[in-house]
Amino acid sequence: MLVAVAAVMACWIAVAAYSSYRGDQRLRLELAQLQTQTVALGGQVRAQQQEVGYSSSPAWQAELARAQGLGLAGEQTYAIESAAAVAGPGAAEQGVAQVGSVIETMARATVAIG
């Protein structure tokens, strides 16, 4: 009987040791993944800190204002119009408008017949 109890205890200890070993392997793998993520996030944090540093500079703020169509105080701006824009709608736009009106007339006539 003592031998049977010793065998059960030995099996229980072996199973516990193997479970502990597998748990350690899983935790090591998770630790490696988290360390990789930490390195990647560190790079993102540094890039965002650098962007925040740039955004506080007057040159960056001036570029942002220009991108939004604003100018700096005292800055001269010029608007250049093309000859096509000054002349009004071209032949293509006029043709599209005429085709649209013809289609609309045909549709109304079809509805009136039906």
Going through 1-114 in order, the beta strands assigned E by DSSP cover none
Mean pLDDT of the chain, nearest integer: 82
Report d(CA 37, CA 43) in Å as an integer: 10
Q: Where are the domains of the chain?
A: 1-71, 81-114
Tens-digit pLDDT string for the chain (114 aa): 888 888 889 889 989 888 889 989 999 999 999 999 999 999 999 999 888 888 788 888 888 888 887 877 777 877 777 766 666 666 666 666 777 788 888 888 887 775
The CA-atom distances, in angstroms, between 70 and each of 3, 20, 54, 67 are 91, 65, 19, 7
71 CB-near residues (< 8 Å, 6+ apart): 65, 77
Q: What angle do CA 82, 88, 90 make, to 5 degrees?
A: 95
User: For position 33, what pLDDT does the model report?
Assistant: 95
Report d(CA 108, CA 49) in Å as an integer: 63
